[in-house]
Chain A
Amino acid sequence: MTLVLFVQHLANGLITGGLYALVAIGLSLIYGVLRIINFAHGEIFAVGAYLGFFLWRVLGVPLPLAFVGAMVGTAAMGVVAERLVFRPLRFADPLNSMISAIGLSFLLQNLILQVGGAEPRRLDPFMSGVLLVGPIALPFQYLFILGLAGVLIAAIEVYLRRAWNGLALRASSQDPGTAALMGVNIDRLARVTFAAASALAAAAGVLVGSVFLLQPTMGVSMAAKCFVVVILGGVGNLPGAIVGGLVLGVAESLAVAYVSTALRDVVAFVVLIVALLFRPQGLLRGA
C-alpha cells in the first residue's frame, strides 16, 4: 500500500517537476544568452496563465486555441519587456538589470492583481479521465501535461542544435563578442530569446492553471522555485534545468506527503540553500 502511495507521489512530483522545468528552461536561456537574471520570469509565467484564462473564459476561445494564443501573446509581451526594460541597460552594471527586472516583476504582479482579481481562478482540464496503471491512478490531464512539456522541450533542443538562430543562441551564450563578430545580430537574438522563454513560461502557466489554481501570487512562488531549479541544474545548462525541475518537483511532493503541507514552499528554499552551500555550480557537470 505504501509503495503504491509512494509511486503516486513520485508521479505527481514528476508532473509538477516537468512544469518547473518548462519555466526554468526559459530562465536559463535568458541568462545563458543575455547574462540577464530575469527576476520577472515568474510573473511572465503568471501573465501567460491569466492570458490563457482570459482568452478561454472571457472571449470564449476554445481551450487549445487559448493555449496557443497565450503563448503568442506572452511572447509578444516578453519582446516588449526586453526592448523597454532590459535593452537600455545592456551595457550597464548587471546589478541594474537585476533591479529593473525586480521592478518589472512587481509591476506585472500588481497588474495581474488589478486586472485578474484576487480570487483564485481555474481553467478546465484539457482532458478528463484517469489512466490506471495497476493501483496507481494517473489522470490523463497529467500525462498530457507531461507529454506536452516533453514536446516543447524537445522542440527547443532541436531548435538550439539545428536552426541557425539556435546556433547563434548557443554561440552567444559562449562568447557574445565573437558571436557578434560572426554576424549574429544581438538585438534580434535578444528578442528571440525572450520570445521563446516567455512562450514556454506561458505554456506552463496555462497547464498549471488547468490542474491547479490561478492566483495573483503564482508568479512569485514559481519565480523562486525556478531560480532553485536553475541553480540546481547549473545556470545556462538546459538539460540541467530539466533534471533540476524534476528533482525539485519530486522533493516537494514527497516532503508534502510525508512531512507537512506547510513545507511545500519551504522545500525549494531549503534545497536552494543546501545547493548553494555545497554545489553552487549545479548538479550536472558541464554546460
Chain B
Amino acid sequence: MMLAEGSRRWPWLLLLAVAVVGPPLTGEPYVAHLMVLGSLSALLAVGLNIALGFAGLFSFAQGAFYGIGAYVSALLVLSCGAGFWTAFLAAGVAAGLAGLLLGLLTIRLGGHYLAIATFAFQEIVIVVIRNWDSVTKGPLGLSGVPGPAPLALPGLPPLEFHSELAYYYLALAVLVLAVAVSWRLRTSQIGLELLAVRDDEVAARAMGVRAVQLKIFAFSASAVLAGLAGSLFAHYVKNVSPESFAVATSFAVLVSVLVGGLGTIMGPVLGGIALTFLPEYLRVFQEHRFTIYGALLIVVIIALPGGVAGALQTLARRWRARAQAARP
C-alpha cells in the first residue's frame, strides 16, 4: 500500500512541495483559484473514499453533506455572528451528524439498496434546502457570506485569507490533514476492520468486527470531510445555493474517486484535482462535460477498475519486481 515505507514517501513529499510552490510560481491568481476548487473536490473525494473505498459503502450523499456543511457554516456566520473557525468546525460536526443519521437509517441495507437509499437522502436534503425559504432563502440561496477573519498565531503576523492564494493554502492545509487522517485510518486497526467489512461482512462479523458501528462511523467520517469542504466553499465563493450541492456534485465526486483510484490514499486527491482541471483544458467541450464524465467512467471501470492510482501502483510493483529479478 502507498505511503507504507519511508523510502516510498518521497514522491508524495515532492508532490506536496510542487503543490505549495507551484501556483505562486505561475503568477496567475486563476491557477490558485482552480487549486482551491481542486482541493475542495479532493477533500470530498477523500471523504467518499473512506465510505466507499475503505468500507465498501456506496454513498450518493456527498453532495448533500457538502451542502449541509456550507449552509450551516454560512448561517452561523450570517445569522449568529459566529467566527469562521467556529462555523468551520460546526459545519463538520453538523455534516457528521447527518452522516450518522444516514448510517443509522441504512444499517440493514447493502449494495444496491444502500446506493438507492443514499440517493434518496441526497435528494431529500436538496429539496428541503430548496424549499425551506425562511432559513435557506430557497433556490436563490444565501449571499454575502464573509470570508475568514485574519488568523493571529503567536509570533507570526496575522494570516489573511483574502487572496486566492492564501485561501488555497488554507484549503491545502485542510486537505493534507484529511489525507494524513485517511492514511492513518487505513493502516490502523479500524481501517483493517473497515476493509474486512467491505470484503466480506459476514466473515468479518464472525471474527468479532463490530460492523454496524464501523459502517456508521464510515458514513460520519465521509460526511465530516464533506462538511468541512462545504464550509470552505461557502466562505470562498461567498454565496451558497442549492444547485451547487445537487446529485450532479455527488456524481462528480464519485467519478473523481473511481478515476483516481478507489481505496488508495492519493487516488481520490489526484482524481479530485484532475476533474477540476480537466474542464479547463477541455473548455471547448464544456457543455459536453457530463457526457465525457459518463463515458470516462464507463471506460475506466471496464479497463482500469483500480483507477489511475491503481494502475500506477501495478506499474510500480511490476517495475520493482523486474528490478529485483534482475539482481543476481
Contacts and interface: CB of A to CB of B under 8 A. Distances in A.
Interface of A: 37, 84-85, 88-89, 92-96, 98-100, 102-111, 114, 220, 224, 227-228, 231, 262, 265-266, 268-270, 272-273, 276-277, 280
Interface of B: 56, 58, 105-106, 108-109, 111-113, 115-117, 119-121, 123-124, 127, 131, 247, 251, 254-255, 258, 287-291, 293-298, 301-302, 305
A276 B113 contact: yes
Contacts of A220: 247
A269 B290 CA distance: 25
Given A100-B301, A100-B302, A104-B298, A231 B116 contact: yes
A276 B118 CA distance: 11
Contacts of B124: 266, 269-270, 273
A227 B56 CA distance: 21
Given A107-B298, A280-B109, A98 B288 contact: no
B294 A99 contact: no
Given A106-B290, A114-B287, A224-B120, A94 B298 contact: no
Contacts of A100: 297-298, 301-302
Nearest to A273: B120
B301 A107 contact: no
B113 A95 contact: no
A103 B298 contact: yes
Given A106-B251, A114-B291, A262-B131, A224 B115 contact: no
A98 B113 CA distance: 11
B301 A103 contact: yes
B117 A273 contact: yes
Contacts of B113: 231, 276, 280
A114 B119 CA distance: 25
A110 B297 contact: no
A85 B294 CA distance: 11
B294 A266 contact: no
Of A92, A106, A272, most buried by chain B (CB within 10 Å of CB) is: A106
B94 to A, nearest CB: 20
Nearest to B108: A280
Contacts of B254: 99, 102
A102 B119 CA distance: 12
A110 B301 contact: no
Nearest to B127: A266
B120 A103 contact: no
Contact of A103 (B56, B106, B121, B293): B293
A102 B297 contact: yes
A201 B121 CA distance: 25
Contacts of A266: 123-124, 127
A99 B250 CA distance: 13
A6 to B, nearest CB: 26
Given A89-B302, A106-B251, A266-B124, A276 B294 contact: no
A119 to B, nearest CB: 16
A104 B116 contact: no
A89 B96 CA distance: 34
A85 B297 CA distance: 10
